[in-house]
Amino acid sequence: MTKKLPEGWTIARLSELGQFYGGATPSKAKPEFWAGGDIPWVSPKDMRQEILDTVQDRITHKALESSPVRLIPTNSVAFVVRSGVLEKRFPVGLTVNDVTLNQDMKAIHPNEAVDARWLAWGLRWMEQSILHDCRKAGTTVASIETSRLMSVHLPLPPLAEQRRIISTLETELTRLKSAQALLDKSLIRAGRLVERFTDTELDSFSSEKVTPLKELLREPLRNGHSAPAAREGGIRTLTLTAITKGVFSDTHTKMTSTPPRKASGLWLEPGDIFIQRSNTPDLVGTSAVYQGPSGWAIFPDLLVRVRISDHLDPRFVLAVLKSTRVRAHFKDSAKGLSGSMPKIDQRTIEEVLIPVPDIKTQRDTADRIDEYSRSVTIISKEVEKARERTGHLRRALLTAAFNGKLAPQDPADEPASLLLDRIRDDSAAAPKRKRRNRSTANQTPILVRSDTAAHALHEPRPVHAGEQIALEF
């Protein structure tokens, strides 16, 4: 947090900067709450965007009238408070329409002291401290404690200066995002170069006799075993990332409580080929070959182990498995129930057709593909370093913004403390509101003065079981 504030700045708690809202989920058992709905219902899956202009789900006006869900005014700042994503990120989005939230979300509708964009970027700037200081302890799913979040302090410049800073910040971040997009495209192109080179090398065997993989196995295909993380000790187990990245290292393993009898027969051996039998549509069927020491780790249930005959080079078979033809075969064969990951079965893998030239030709082909891949990898690593530097630049821009070093100050701007003091005085002078309970649920609601001319804030509805009540300030 800023140590010395620029002239005209002050510090404010989030609780002083607007009205907090909670979320809820209308009953999925009532089609009239969802079918044909036109009211956006924001959930964590929508929070990969900074501006919440598109959402996946919508509810009906009937749901708004007859369930605990509340309408959040336009120009509010929404954020995730319960989700596995909070292990690494604190997603924040700015609403551009009136929306509703699910129970894993909260929002702040800012008052006159703060621009909604300043509030949104401030939460992103403080992401790591929020994740560190506001996490609930002992919860199965990562969660943010609202009371702690409301006590977080945010630097607050004069309102006019907030808008000048945000204008400069967003201009620079847009340029940075364009650079990131170009780097991302370069990484994708690098991967495609390897695919094309591999396909070209294998095309020379198109007229060769091909054999189903099941006839080339030294032993039957085998799925791994999955077990919970070990509290202490345990057995080293591969993660899917080891196969996705093709890197077998401690970083891509975890210690699990797999019983020794279950681990028997699952230990890695040099030349073992592993295929992801379940993952996203783009990654299902991803494969890699292990070349490390025997018995270093075991593999989990979402991987299939392939052990081929001695007259085949595992690297050559791996090249075939990574070819465009076979990857398309895996993707087309993948099946998944609604909401579940696509999966391929062992039969799909056994049906893959493998050309079988002499062993020297296999090795020479694999060597050429490996050499080309290494060259592309060197370039890709440099691109990734540049991509990482854009992340550092983004953080530096945010820090400059919230330290008052990104835009000029104007002595004519009203100090933020004066505006904030007026809001505090108005809040202190306003009649105290009592929390309603079930016995008073049907009384006439108390109207609340709007913080904006365009939107009136609504009184909370009667408390339902499990409802997260909005906190008013």
Q: Going by DSSP bridges, is the β-strand pair 18-22/105-110 parallel, antiparallel, or unpaired? A: antiparallel
Together in a domain, 185 and 98: no
Together in a domain, 163 and 146: no
Q: What is the pLDDT of residue 424?
A: 86
For residue range 271-306, list pLDDT tens digits in order: 999 999 999 988 999 999 999 999 999 999 999 999
Together in a domain, 418 and 289: no
For residue range 340-388, list pLDDT tens digits in order: 789 999 999 999 999 999 999 999 999 999 999 999 999 999 999 999 9
The half-sphere exposure of 451 on its side-chain side, counting CA atoms within 13 A, is 26
* Distance from C-alpha of 300 to C-alpha of 74, rounded to nearest angstrom: 46
Q: Is the predicted pLDDT of residue 446 greater than 50, yes or no?
A: no
- Give residue for tokens 């005085």: 425
Among 356, 373, 393, identify where a domain stops.
Answer: 356
Phi, psi of 113 (to 5 degrees): -80, -15
Q: What is the pLDDT of residue 451?
A: 38
Q: Is residue 40 part of a domain?
A: yes
Q: What is the pLDDT of residue 437?
A: 42
The whole domain housing 253 covers: 209-356
Q: Is residue 123 part of a domain?
A: yes
Mean pLDDT, residues 187-194 taken together: 91
Phi, psi of 166 (to 5 degrees): -60, -40
DSSP string computed for 100-163:
EE-TTEEEEEE-TTS-HHHHHHHHHHTHHHHHHHSBPSS-SS-BB-HHHHHT-EEEE--HHHHH
**Helix/strand/coil for 211:** strand
Mean pLDDT, residues 47-74 taken together: 95
Together in a domain, 352 and 216: yes
Exposed/middle/buried for 252, CB within 10 Å: 0-12, 13-18, 19+?
Answer: middle
Q: Is residue 100 part of a domain?
A: yes
Q: Is residue 17 part of a domain?
A: yes
Q: Is residue 140 part of a domain?
A: yes
Q: Is residue 472 part of a domain?
A: no
Q: Is residue 452 part of a domain?
A: no
| 8 Å CB contact between 467 and 441 | no
For residue range 246-257, list pLDDT tens digits in order: 999 999 999 999
CATH number at residue 286: 3.90.220.20
Q: What is the pLDDT of residue 456?
A: 31
DSSP string computed for 326-362:
HHHHHHHH-B--TTS--B--HHHHHT-EEE---HHHH
147 C-beta neighbours (distance < 10 Å), count: 9
Together in a domain, 20 and 154: yes
For residue range 202-235, list pLDDT tens digits in order: 998 977 789 999 999 999 999 999 999 998 889 9
Percent of the chain with pLDDT over 70: 90
Please enumerate in sequence order all residues whose Cβ is within 8 A of that of 227, keeping only pairs 6 or more positions apart, or say none. 237, 256, 257, 258, 259, 262
Mean pLDDT (the chain) is: 89
Q: What is the pLDDT of residue 399?
A: 96
Q: What is the pLDDT of residue 430?
A: 77
Count of domains observed in the chain: 3
pLDDT band at 138 (very low <50, low <70, confident <90, very high): confident
Q: Is the predicted pLDDT of residue 461 greater than 70, yes or no?
A: no
For residue range 407-442, list pLDDT tens digits in order: 999 999 999 999 999 988 888 887 766 544 433 333
pLDDT band at 309 (very low <50, low <70, confident <90, very high): very high
Together in a domain, 340 and 226: yes
Percent of the chain with pLDDT over 90: 83
Together in a domain, 200 and 251: no
Evaluate if pTM is beyond 0.75. Answer: no
pLDDT band at 3 (very low <50, low <70, confident <90, very high): low
Together in a domain, 331 and 271: yes
Together in a domain, 306 and 431: no
Together in a domain, 221 and 232: yes
Together in a domain, 367 and 263: no
Q: Is residue 1 part of a domain?
A: no
Together in a domain, 83 and 138: yes
Q: What is the pLDDT of residue 436?
A: 45
Q: What is the pLDDT of residue 338?
A: 55
Residue type at position 154: L
